[in-house]
Amino acid sequence: MSTEFPSKNGIERRWHVIDAQGVVLGKIATKTAMLLMGKTKPSYTPFLDTGDHVIVINAAKVRLSGRKEDNKVYRHFTGYPGGLVEKSFKRVRVEKPTRIVEEAVQGMLPKTKLGKQMFRKLQVYAGDRHPHAAQKPTALTVK
């Protein structure tokens, strides 16, 4: 018997909408990463991108557990000497709330070209509106 692998044309990609309002960030990130990788499908193959497209709305209203809301810090390096920029969670939530969900999901995807390809299928919006109604996304609930 030989193993059958899905071809590029044989992969069926669906669209999902996840509402992040009042849900813990880690639960949203794990569910989203599983959908982007395609691990919920029977045709999952680790070295192929068989995942679906995911839309996350209400990213500004995501919740953190414990004291992370006060203690969590986002860091990035500009490339210049002394260029380490640190911002608190509360400041990031005000300035760019989509970054919160994007970084959490990206940290759960593979750190390869394939992971970057999977990450491109993620759309995050701070509010409750998105322009992807034509794709007829299905609503998913995260507990």
* Tens digit of pLDDT at every position of the chain (143 positions): 788 888 888 899 999 999 999 999 999 999 999 999 999 999 899 999 999 999 999 999 999 999 999 999 999 999 999 999 999 999 999 999 999 999 999 999 999 999 999 999 999 999 999 999 999 999 999 98
**pTM as predicted:** 0.92
Q: Which letter does DSSP use for residue 97 in this model?
A: T
Cα dist from 119 to 2, 6, 49, 84, whole Å: 31, 20, 10, 24
Q: Tell me, which fold does domain 15-66+97-140 have in CATH?
A: Ribosomal Protein L13p; Chain: A; (3.90.1180)
Q: Which letter does DSSP use for residue 122 in this model?
A: E
